[in-house]
Chains A and B, each alone.
Chain A
Amino acid sequence: MTMRRMLAPCLAAMVLASPAVLQAQQNPEEVAQAYFAHFRAGEMDRVAALMHPRPLESFRTFMLQMMGEDGLDETPLAGRDDLATMPADSFFLAFTESAGAQEEFGDMFSTLEVQPLGHVAQGDSLAHVVYSARLEFMNQQAQQTTVLTLRRHRGTWLVDPGDGLMNMMGGGLMMLMMSAGMQAGILGGLDMDDDHDEDMDDDYDHDEEDDEDDDDEDDDEDEDDDDEDDDEDEDEDDDDPPAS
């Protein structure tokens, strides 16, 4: 057996097992699952790697137009003259880091659970994955069945979360995040009434304690004044000539 014949199966195995081929073999549901797993872990570089070029380019164009030169001066991206020329995925990462998205949404996304249910194909190049998503925000559970679009790009499925800041930063989970926020706001408003009453009671008690303390202080001051008066009287007595 020649060296070439021995190496051929090895080379074939390497090609077949390469990440590009593995990704090409991934179905839309698997890509969506991986995308959300990276979101949950805060691995934004891997999130960007699974995004289709279309939304990345659209996002860069939109943000540069919206912020303009003056606007950029007020962001951590100020001073960078390569924003218009850097790759769109690098722009997305730079903006995400500068916006502190991970700090802002990290706790929320760390609770994200996703279960793909299937997909609807639209032609050969679009797949809409329907999935059940759940996350926790301010101790409130929000759940929603929603849809994520994927597009074919060079034989692989890549995510298109849609245009706009919220879609890009929220990974297509905007509606779920809004639902969670509103639920937390609704219940927070209801809880606040009870907590507010408790706080009012606590403040009232504290005020009462303060009043008592003030009274004590006043008493102490009065005692001090009395003591001073006594001292003065004694001094005066000392100063007075002895009675003859």
Chain B
Amino acid sequence: MTLTRILRGALLLLCVCASRAAAQDTPEAVVQRYYETFKNGDFAGNAALMHPDALEELKTTLTGMAALPGATEDLEFREMFGVSSIEEMRALPAPVLFERVLRNQLEGEMRAILASTQVTILGHVMEGDTTAHVVYRMRMDFGGQTLDQVQVIPLERASGEWRVLLTGSLAGMMGSMPSEPR
């Protein structure tokens, strides 16, 4: 057996094992990785763990807000999204748009706070067969204050994988904002 064939087999085995591991990822494991991406500043990785529908919903809301008169002339708009027109914004894939928002909003002091945040996953509660609510304890230090709270985050399956949804409060607020029709 040649070296090439051995390597090819090993790579194939690695891919199969990785995909099986990913398919078997528990909701807890996904949330653990999700918060690690905040700590590490891996915003592309963070977007990859979001549910595609949640990203599309967020994009719809953001483009709706950008469509308000004068919004695209704001320097902050260009800095946040890296585009200069709403047409360019509409052309961005939703995960890329989300990654740019995170990168713009979570730099500097916020990055430092997130890097030191401790997350302890406690378990999950199922709602029906498709939604898992993962319960975790978050300890965050900022400005001399300590936030120590038990929180919950929802996930749904997308193509067999658990992916993170928008939290209820964010989804509710987004529902109240002007958005572009899909």
CA distance A119 to B124 in the complex (A): 8
Chain B positions within 8 Å of A187 at CB level: 176
Q: Which of A109-151 contact B (CB under 8 A)?
A: 117-122, 128, 130, 132, 140, 142-147, 149
Which of A147, A180, A190 is within 8 Å of B152, CB to CB? A147
B-contact 0/1 string along A177-198, CB 8 Å cutoff: 0111011001100100000000
The number of residues on chain A lying at the interface, defined by a beta carbon within 8 Å of a beta carbon of chain B, is 28
A-contact 0/1 string along B167-178, CB 8 Å cutoff: 111001101111
Chain B positions within 8 Å of A176 at CB level: 168-169
Query: Are B168 and A144 in contact, with the CB atoms below 8 A?
Result: yes
When A147-B150, A187-B176 are in contact, do A118 and B125 touch as well, CB less than 8 Å? yes
Q: Does A20 contact B (CB under 8 A)?
A: no
CA distance A204 to B175 in the complex (A): 34
Q: Tell me the interface secondary structure of chain B in the complex.
A: strand
Q: In the complex, which residue of chain B has the Cβ closest to the Cβ of A118?
A: B125
Q: Does A53 contact B (CB under 8 A)?
A: no
Residues of A within 8 A of B (CB): 117-122, 128, 130, 132, 140, 142-147, 149, 162, 175-176, 178-180, 182-183, 186-187, 190
Q: In the complex, which residue of chain B has the Cβ closest to the Cβ of A163?
A: B148
Chain B positions within 8 Å of A117 at CB level: 125-127, 133
Query: Are A120 and B123 in contact, with the CB atoms below 8 A?
Result: yes
Q: Which of B22-48 contact A (CB under 8 A)?
A: none
The number of residues on chain B lying at the interface, defined by a beta carbon within 8 Å of a beta carbon of chain A, is 22
Query: Are B150 and A145 in contact, with the CB atoms below 8 A?
Result: no
Chain B positions within 8 Å of A183 at CB level: 172-173, 175-176
Q: Does B149 contact A (CB under 8 A)?
A: yes
Query: Are A145 and B168 in contact, with the CB atoms below 8 A?
Result: yes
Chain B positions within 8 Å of A121 at CB level: 123
Chain A positions within 8 Å of B112 at CB level: none
Query: Are A120 and B124 in contact, with the CB atoms below 8 A?
Result: yes
Query: Are B133 and A130 in contact, with the CB atoms below 8 A?
Result: yes
CA distance A140 to B173 in the complex (A): 11
The smallest beta-carbon distance between B3 and chain A, in angstroms, is 50
